[in-house]
Structure 1
């Protein structure tokens, strides 16, 4: 076998093996590498490249070495689930850098970080003043997590005592001009509904690059041709307009009737609907 063909075959073999090992160890190793996983990954790459380019080495020996280093993180991860001490040794522990707005200098020295590097990490979290920080910890994967002091945290609906509805994740129902039936059924709709919504927007399915349905059942689309304009969705404004019309009708009924009991009923429900309109208006105007 010519050398170049041998290299091609070896490359394909190790590519398949590395792909299989990566699928086995799972997504965690791809996103958050521990010290042990980093060393294993580095060694696996070295073994693969050495066996591919050095034709004097046996392919099987390289495969055995890669399998060993590929399986060990999986075994270590399993043991880590059972033992806290083992997990701390293999994956490391978080180190507190800031506590009560004060820098822990000894911990910085321990992790070999300078104050400039700490400030840089804080800026990635949109924090420019250490005194604004209640607590900051360097995680085992090298990421800095920051908790701001209460007075420096952004206000939320909970702070105002406002209840907001939960939002469901948007479902992608069209991709590359093709209808995806499973997400469509997840939102409780079918192809006929989708075609009707597309007609309202004035587009055809073939022109749609991406189509998504939000929590309110409203369809939004992105077209292949960015020069084409899409009609604005009308579901939310229509709901808001209908609610306002009902509230106005109740007020008219209250003024028109001479029956005191009916007048009070219309007025009471009109006020209730007015409160509901005030709560949902920010959502329906998005």
Structure 2
């Protein structure tokens, strides 16, 4: 009987912890969920640890645990608000970007301040598909721990503009308009298009909507169409 009560209590604790943690995560916003900085990362781990503690440890007072989650979340929201209002506070709380390679020269003093060695720097460069520091003009160590780089002019990939090719500004963002044979009305509306327009496009290609499995709107306004019988067409 005692074990059954413990199981019920754990289920209730877990359910309420899940709901409260979800609500707090929504309140803290997407920045917290993406763990942009070290502070956000630590906050995420701490909230998860508190939730796990009150969900699985029956000797932990449930109300105390929920109070901890809510108060920690409110403190995080407060810190984020202060960071938005004050540039100095933002630097203090989140840190700031640090240039570690400038005009092709490695800044050893900055690396030392960041507690990075050359092996660390080389690894971060390789993660950006750069295997030689000689290729780098500027490198910036971001507050969230990643390296942003600008290659030297001669190492940068050639763009259409460099080749003097004519470029056209995209009319649409590529998006799904039919998935599993069902029209995604929301995406059509966001693109400023209608169901009648879609049907007219299909009619012009002698395709019936009922035969379609998937359609994706392309950036130039054309449609990528996948029929149910796996015949692929591009209009």
Q: Distance in 2 between matches of 1:13 and 1:188?
A: 42
Q: Distance in 2 between matches of 1:48 and 1:207?
A: 49
Residue 6 of structure 1: how far off its partner (Å): 0.7
1:131-165 alpha-carbon deviations (Å, 9 max, x no partner): 11110011010010001112222222333444522
Q: Residues 71 and 194 (structure 1 numbering): CA distance in 2 closer, same or farther, change over 3 Å?
A: same
TM (norm. structure 2) is 0.87
Give 1:144-163 correspondences, 5 Å limit: 144-163=147-166
Note if 1:191 corresponds to 2:198: no
Q: Name 1:51's counterpart in structure 2.
A: 54
Q: Runs of 5+ in structure 1 lacking a partner?
A: 234-286
Note if 1:180 corresponds to 2:223: no
Q: Name 2:84's counterpart in structure 1.
A: 81
Q: Name 1:95's counterpart in structure 2.
A: 98
1:175-205 alpha-carbon deviations (Å, 9 max, x no partner): 2321122332444543233234345656554
Q: Distance in 2 between matches of 1:143 and 1:60?
A: 39
Q: What RMSD, in angstroms, separates the aligned Cα atoms of the two structures?
A: 2.3
Q: Distance in 2 between matches of 1:32 and 1:53?
A: 25
Of residues 132-141 and 107-116 in structure 1, the stretch that sits farther from structure 2 once superposed is 107-116
Q: Distance in 2 between matches of 1:9 and 1:44?
A: 18
Structure with more strand by fraction: 2
In the alignment, which of 3, 6, 24 is matched to residue 3 of structure 1?
6
1:259-283 alpha-carbon deviations (Å, 9 max, x no partner): xxxxxxxxxxxxxxxxxxxxxxxxx
Q: Runs of 5+ in structure 2 lacking a partner?
A: none
Note if 1:220 corresponds to 2:229: no
* SS of the residue 1:183 aligns to: helix
Count matched residues: 231
Structure with more helix by fraction: 1
* SS of the residue 1:2 aligns to: helix
Residue pair 1:134, 1:149 contacting (<8 A) in 2 also: yes
Q: Name 2:41's counterpart in structure 1.
A: 38
Q: Distance in 2 between matches of 1:215 and 1:38?
A: 36
Residue 34 of structure 1: how far off its partner (Å): 2.3
TM (norm. structure 1) is 0.73
**Structure possessing the higher relative contact order (Cα contacts under 8 Å, 6 or more residues apart):** 2
In the alignment, which of 19, 23, 27 is matched to residue 22 of structure 2?
19
Residue pair 2:32, 2:44 contacting (<8 A) in 1 also: no
Q: Distance in 1 between matches of 2:211 and 2:147?
A: 44
Residue pair 1:94, 1:140 contacting (<8 A) in 2 also: yes
